[in-house]
Amino acid sequence: MQNPDGGFPAFDKNKMENNYVMKMAMDIAGISNSAEIFDPSSPDVTTHILEGFGALGVTAGDRLVKGAINYLKSTQNLQGAWQARWGVNYIYSMGCVIPGLARVGYNLSEPWIGDSVAWLLSKQNTDGGFGETVLSYRQPAKYMGVGKSTVSQTAWGLLALLEVSGLYEVDEAIEAAVNYLLAEFVAQG
């Protein structure tokens, strides 16, 4: 199922959005937003696959994993994050990418991972939580990693932070995120 770019799609291999005639026909027909005929690689699916590989004992030295890591490096944006496909959005991807790499034994102290951690820390809200709106898909420069704190976004951010504890200065951020989640738990009764 691994695509030529090293990433993994959700459903179909090699449906990488490169058929421009088909895309144009779908646009003209008015169904481009209602039918998903393309299935490109995505960082979130790719790293969920890495988690599965890790559970099976496959490590970062494996050919398939190396391809996936190269894909992740090539899709990381300048701020250090990744756009997700199956969850909202950049914070969610951090909760996938970092744990996925950890499961295959990848060295999380690499500089490109440090960039990711720095980006994530810069997006933590003052209440300790993380939040992001779906507007980040249309206007990433304005909304990437920005939004009111939510339990799900905070949990995704926390998943990434827990994996890098001891490698980066994240203990205060972890404590703040846990405190946010505890306060939300208590508030829900």
Q: What is the pLDDT of residue 49?
A: 96
pLDDT at 11: 73
Residue 171 φ then ψ, to 5°: -60, -40
Computed over every residue of the chain, the mean pLDDT equals 90
Structure tokens at 180: 């946010």
Please check whether residue 13 lies inside any domain of the structure. Answer: no
pTM of this structure: 0.87
- State the CATH number of the domain containing residue 158: 1.50.10.20
**pLDDT score, position 189:** 77
Q: What is the pLDDT of residue 36?
A: 56
Is 152 among the domain residues? yes
99 or 16, greater pLDDT: 99
pLDDT at 31 over 70: no
Reference 170, options 184, 180, 157; nearest CA is: 157
Interval 46-77: pLDDT, tens: 999 999 999 999 999 999 999 999 999 999 99
Is residue 34 in a domain?
no
* 53, 94, 98, 151 from 84: Cα distances, Å: 20, 9, 13, 18
Asked if residue 28 belongs to a domain, the reply is no
Give the count of domains, the chain. Answer: 1
Q: Per the domain annotation, does 16 fall within a domain?
A: no
What's the pLDDT score for residue 156? 97
- DSSP 3-state assignment of 17? coil
- Residue 57 inside a domain? The answer is yes
Report the share of the chain in percent with pLDDT over 90.
76
Q: What is the pLDDT of residue 96?
A: 96
Residue 6 counted as domain residue: no
Tell me whether residue 33 is in a domain: no
- Dihedral (Cα; 105, 110, 112, 116), 10-degree rounding: 70
Domain hosting residue 68, numbered range: 41-187
pLDDT for 35-52, tens place per residue? 456 678 899 999 999 999
